[in-house]
Amino acid sequence: MSRDDLARDVAVGLGDADVQLRDLVHLHVDALTTALELGAPELLAEQVRWEATRLRGLGLDLEALDVRRAVLRALGPHLSAPATSRVRLLHGEVAHLVADPVAPTGPELPAGAAAYLRAALTLRRTEAVGVVEQALRRGASAAEVTLGILQPAQVEVGRLWQAGHITVAQEHFISAVTQTCLALVATSTDQVSARATSRLVASAVGTEGHDLGLRMLCELLQDEGWETEFLGAGVPGPDLVSFVAAVEPEVVALSVTLPAALASARETIGLLRADPACRDVRVLLGGRAVDAKPELARTLGADGWAPGPAEAIALCRGWATPASPPAADDGSRASRRERALAELVRRYEFEERNVEGALELLAAQMRLTPDELIERLAPPRG
């Protein structure tokens, strides 16, 4: 039985053949099969919590439990007795995990995020982008803009869609505005990463379409002095592997939001491990689907998991290639004196044979000690 046929049967069994409900059943079946395959009931529990709100958002008089029952009814004739028992057992574990399937209420958004979202929801794009521009002008860091304005706004957009208050079209509009704002953030982080010594390649895996969170992570790593190559979604596994082999990053960051893409994560990591050119690369896994059960990162073959940029940055620091130490005598007193003398010749056109005396003379005229003048002419290299 195909996934589509099953979704249709379940939707009909629930008395509603609505397309959106079929999407919900697709997600349910994906979470169910992945939870069984990976022994991770947490994945289905997360889906069931989400369904409670989504069903209300769709205005349907159904409980998440109705969906579980309908799925089991539709699957029944196609499953062996042991397989049916496994699904029943899984449902039991899920019921235990989902203690409180109550719809989340909207969080109190930080002021910047609220202003940004208000503007974006009412299609005032310039005003929304202006909120971010202004924050950057006032000296806000990439992390403050990304995690304090854009991320909370995006999460709230998801909640509004799930609850049926906004449409997919509105969500797309706002996400596009957020992409524009991330490009603004990038103009500041690019300057920092110009001195990078470590690289990270980032990609969403398989059919995963969510890549905004990963892009945010990349911007924040850039701001930490990493060079990041953000590939987004839809990169075939073999293409990612050859890219990684050519670029030779220290870390590959893979993002998974939907449980259905976890299998692709395992596949992609397997492909990376199988290529001798990628053997030393560390694989970092993250995203909502992994957050539901972080141990999955190891099960799927990754070297680590992080729930967000701060933890990811800490992990990546341990995997970074240390910056090469400055030339042995670069910071020494003698070499700085040499550089200062060369500056005097270049800037003030002193003759080389007189330059030692010129240093003393100039220092006295400027009411500085010779060492202070050297400090000015040849500051320590950072």
Q: Does 155 bind ligand B12 (CB under 6 A)?
A: yes
Q: Does 212 bind ligand B12 (CB under 6 A)?
A: yes
Torsion sign across C-alpha atoms 235, 204, 46, 15: negative
Task: Tell me which residues in 257-276 interact with ligand B12 (CB under 6 A).
Answer: 257-258
Q: What mask, x for binding ligand B12 by CB under 6 A, covers residues 45 to 84?
A: --x--x----------------------------------
Q: Return the closest-CA partner of residue 345 out of 378, 380, 316, 315.
A: 378
Does residue 123 come out as left (phi exceeding 0), alpha (psi in the -120 to 50 range) or beta?
left
Q: Which of 41, 120, 154, 341 binds ligand B12 (CB under 6 A)?
A: 154
Torsion angle defined by CA atoms of residues 52, 56, 62 and 63, in that order, rounded to the nearest 10 degrees: 20
Q: Which of 23, 190, 352, 360 binds ligand B12 (CB under 6 A)?
A: 23
Residue 252, SS3?
strand
Q: Does 199 bind ligand B12 (CB under 6 A)?
A: no
Number of residues that bind ligand B12 (CB under 6 A): 39
Residue environment code for 329-340, b if the CB has 16+ CB neighbours within 10 A, otherwise e:
eeeeeeebbeeb
Beta bridge partners of 254: 203, 285
Q: Which of 34, 151, 203, 264 binds ligand B12 (CB under 6 A)?
A: 151
**Which pair of structure tokens corresponds to residue 250?**
């220290």
Q: How many CB atoms lie within 10 A of CB 107?
A: 11
Q: Give whichever of 289 and 377 is closer to ligand B12, judged by the CB atom.
A: 289
Q: What mask, x for binding ligand B12 by CB under 6 A, covers residues 331 to 370?
A: ----------------------------------------
Q: Give whichever of 47 and 268 is closer to ligand B12, judged by the CB atom.
A: 47
Q: Give whichever of 38 and 359 is closer to ligand B12, judged by the CB atom.
A: 38
Q: Does 216 bind ligand B12 (CB under 6 A)?
A: yes
Helices and strands counted in the chain (H then E):
19, 5
Q: Does 217 bind ligand B12 (CB under 6 A)?
A: yes
Q: Does 8 bind ligand B12 (CB under 6 A)?
A: no
Q: Return the closest-CA partner of residue 216 out of 287, 302, 117, 320.
A: 287
**CB burial of residue 187 (10 Å; 0-12, 13-18, 19+):** exposed
Q: Give whichever of 158 and 237 is closer to ligand B12, judged by the CB atom.
A: 158
Q: Does 223 bind ligand B12 (CB under 6 A)?
A: no
Q: Does 158 bind ligand B12 (CB under 6 A)?
A: yes
Q: Which of 214, 241, 265, 297 binds ligand B12 (CB under 6 A)?
A: 214
| Distance of closest approach, residue 84 Cβ to ligand B12, in angstroms | 24
Task: Tell me which residues in 279-318 interact with ligand B12 (CB under 6 A).
Answer: 284-288, 306, 308-309, 312
Residue 321, SS3?
coil
Q: Return the closest-CA partner of residue 293 out of 274, 252, 265, 253.
A: 265
Q: Which of 253, 262, 340, 377 binds ligand B12 (CB under 6 A)?
A: 253
Q: Return the closest-CA partner of residue 303 out of 253, 259, 256.
A: 253
| Distance of closest approach, residue 121 Cβ to ligand B12, in angstroms | 13
Beta carbons of 63 and 37 less than 8 angstroms apart: no
Q: Give whichever of 10 and 377 is closer to ligand B12, judged by the CB atom.
A: 10
Binding residues for ligand B12, rule: CB under 6 A, are 23, 27, 47, 50, 151, 154-155, 157-159, 161-162, 171-172, 175, 207-214, 216-217, 253-255, 257-258, 284-288, 306, 308-309, 312
